[in-house]
Structures are given as C-alpha cells and as structure tokens.
Structure 1
C-alpha cells in the first residue's frame, strides 16, 4: 500500500485514496470532500476502481508488496492536519488579549505570558504593538487559526512601563471557502499596569484553566473602544499645571517647584495635575498620576544626586503603593524614603537620582 492507492473501508461504507501514514499502523484516507480520515491499516483494502461499493476487486493488505524490502510506512512524512473546527455563532468576530501569570502564587516575583485569543470561525493575520515616545514598536505578528489562542510574548514587571498603550491590528478571512468580508480591525487598548500587582485582577475565564486578565479587542463584530488618553493632550495639560497655584488647599505650592535646598517638589494630587477629572474613573486618574511620576523621573535621570519629593497624600495609600512598586521594579537603582514630615507632613516620598 502506498500514497495514491485507492482503498475502501472494511467495517464501514465508503473509502478514498491514501494520503499518508501515521506510524506503522495508521493510514490517512482522503475522502471525496478532501477530509483525511485516520484509519487502522488493517481496516482498509486496496481497490482497483474508483468505486467503493460495487464492481471492484480487492487485494488484502497482507498481500501488498513493495519493491523496497526495507519500506516502512512510518518513514513517509505525516501529511494529515485536521481542519479547524467551526462553531455556531462563530462568524461574528471575537478576539481578546489575555495576560496569564506564570506563578500566580508569587505575584511579587512572577512573570507573565501574553496571548491573543481568536474566538471566531475566521483566520486572523495580526500585528501586536506597543506605543513608545518615538512611535510604535512591533511586539509580535503572525496568523491565528479559528477558535484557537496564540502565545505572543513573555514579560516581567520591569517591562510594564512599555505596555501602557498597546494596539492590535488584524484582517480576518477563511480558507478554501467563500465568506463574508470583515473590515480590518485597529483596536487600541490602555493596559493598567497597577492591576498586575494585584492577585484579584486575574480571574476565572473561558479560555484558560488558570486565572487570567482578559481585555476585549473585538466582540461580536464590535471593536472595543476603551479610554485612550492623547499623549499630546497630556503634555499640554502638564505644561498648564506646572505653574498653576493650588487655590483649593489654601497654600501657594505649585504642581512642581524647586526649594531653597534644590529639592524638586511634584504634587501628584489630581486637582494639581488636571483641570477637571470629569468622565475619568479612579483607575484613569491613577494611571495619569503614574504617568507624571515616570516622566518626572525620566526628565531628571541625568541629574545625579538630585532629590525629588512626590506629594501623594495619605488617603487610602493606593497611589503611594503604586509608586513604591514602580520604584522597586522599574527604578531599582533610585533609593527612596518618606519625605520630611516637618516640611511635607504625611503623604510624601523622596526619591534620589543615582
């Protein structure tokens, strides 16, 4: 028996032609629809005519010979590949970006794996990118089969600062059949870095056995439109607030100033940084404050020995906790401590540039 032989099934009606072999005991029979059916080799017989029910002569498998005495079906390359499954409702595009902790029991040390999930009956050809100060950086690209997920990258806490804004672009199509054309997708997501430090941010889901953080790229043909803050607008707001006085607190400390001891003071209160917080969630405000914190450190990174005091307030300690995690993981070389209580009261942290 060899590739191309016509065979029929012994224990069932029908048959086809031999498309390949899996090991020594399985033959791949390709039927008239192009499907390759793995079948035990002793369950098929070779026929001379393309007629699987009548008018054929049979040749028992045991009688099959080959000119090459060392011939072994297992030596032939495996050509079988199951066709992707399609599901009811899968003709509406649903794609997700998911993050899975490698070791969820060690949240302070774990790394993370990123996946793109294609929950539709379409193939998608994708590009996954993140935004930098100079533009966009390609992180991964490729093709994902219908109703599967694709690993795209692994990263640690030190890379979270580069993933605040990501984009997923893709086109969708089917193979070997006609399909309804879908518009190209360009989805931009804002990734909340603070969530990666919290165990409860990762939850039970439909795609992994493990808990994961899942962002919607598109669902039922509707592209997700999460809040994306324009970086140019942020810079403009920062320039406006640098010299703005705090009338609400009754003191004259601007959002940023230098003291007589040459200490740079940055007030991270939302009222100091933004003209208004209307329409912004607490998470959006926190991300904005962290963005100002990072840009301040980057701006003064060449000033060795410079001291910067960030006023974050006492409150519930959420902002301070987020700053401390940034300092421990992204700015490890910068020592920090509570700022002078006499000068700033509770709720201020001093960072030294090294």
Structure 2
C-alpha cells in the first residue's frame, strides 16, 4: 500500500479526484472528493497527484545546532500537535513539536492487539516540528496505542535528561478541549504535552489546605432563565461521544444549573432538551418530580419550543 491518509489522488478510469481519508485494507482505500462523500476504491485504480502537502507536512528544521547560553537552554517543551487536514477534515495529522534546545532522537511505535509497528524514527532538531502519523478522527475508538521513545542529545556541555517513554491510548476526552495555536506550526489544533513538568509541592499551601475554614463555600454563578441542554452547546467533540456519555454530560449540566437557580432564588427556569427520543426529557422529569425545591414543572411554551423544553417553577 503506497498511499497514506491525506494523500491527494486521481481516479485512473474516471474524471474524479480527492483525498485519501481511509485505509480499508492492503488493497482498498477510501477517497473523499469535493462532495464530501467517501468512495471505496482499489488502490490500483488511483494515482498520486503531486504538489499538495497537508499542513505541517514539512518540518521547520534547524540544520545546525547554534550555541545557546546556559541560562537560555530550554530543557522542557515536547508536545504532540494534532491538526485536521486543510482539505480532508476527517483526517488528522500528528506532529511532534520540539521547543527544547535538545536534538531529539524520536521514535513512534503503534501497538494494537499485541501487533507492533514502527511508524516514525528520526532526529528532530531544536525548535522544529515534524509530522509523524495520520489517522481518521471518526475512528478514534479504533486507534492503536501510541508508544513514544525520545532520547535527548546536544553538543553543548549540558547533561541530558533520562530518555522519555510515553505510552498513550487516546480517548474522546483528549480532544474535548478547545483548539490552540500549535507552537512552531502556523495552525491550530489539539496540543498534548509529552514531557509533563515535574510537580513541585508547596509545603505551606499543602498545610493551609488542611485548615480551610468551614465557611468556605463553592460559588455558583447566577444562571440564565433558559438553559439549552443540546449536546452541541455543551461540548465541541460531541460527534465522537457515545449516547451514554452525551446523556451523562447533559444531566450533569442540568443538575449544576438547577442547583444554581435554587441558590440564587430564581422563580422559574426553562430547560431546552429537544424532542428527540425523549430519554433526556424523561430523566429530567424524573429528577424534578423528586426534588424538594420544585413546586411543579410543565411543557414550556409550545409556540416557541414545541415539545422540546420543560419549564420549572420553584417553591
């Protein structure tokens, strides 16, 4: 198989072209065109179109290791930047980002069901970024375990840290945070630190934590009178969550805002849950029916919400 995710290809027998968005097996690939439909096709029926490279495909390398003053030598700062392909959004590219002053002898191995595969091995210069892997974001649950091995090297009179070994099995929650600017890469994406800084324990703060005043309470902000519980309003990564995970997130937000409304003595509140299959609505009504601070609840204004919202009146 000579093609990789994100490669731009053209069909041999048809006037079609697109990006490789799935590796089905050794013979078949999935190609997505401008209509955003993925078409399974034999790898032998397409040909590469040169000239397109996904974001970050070229590393911003430093050819020579310039001398760095001891006080300016950066010993920490190794990241994994995950960026969506600019042309095929369903594909993400993994970049190793080296903001340290060391040259990194880096290797990536994947493991799935006790089958290991070397994916990348290269020297990564100080202050550079290099693409090391690509995958289908929608197949996150099927991704292999990632094993990163990094050895630090420098020509300067500085003792390198112990080799870094990171074993990571990514989950949807790893991509639930908002996107950030990736260092050294002119693009935004998810940023994951591989060399976590050492945790420094402040003895005084630790001591103070044991003697917190019982009067200290959690401050709940005053909520609005209408709370939208649609999952897309609560999480950016909702399309990668299972139904049970979505329901738990929605119920947690419901209980949090319900408590806040009671604390701030709101007279009433509307929860927008949508019609859907009625599971979320039923869970809300079950909780409201048992709540000691709820006087009654009912369908909210149908002309505005249809049957997709519940109005709660507090005691």
Q: Quick one: higher RCO (CA 8 Å, sep 6+), 1 or 2? A: 2
Larger Rg: 1
Q: TM-score range by the shorter chain?
A: 0.3 to 0.5
TM-score by length of 1: 0.36
TM-score by length of 2: 0.40
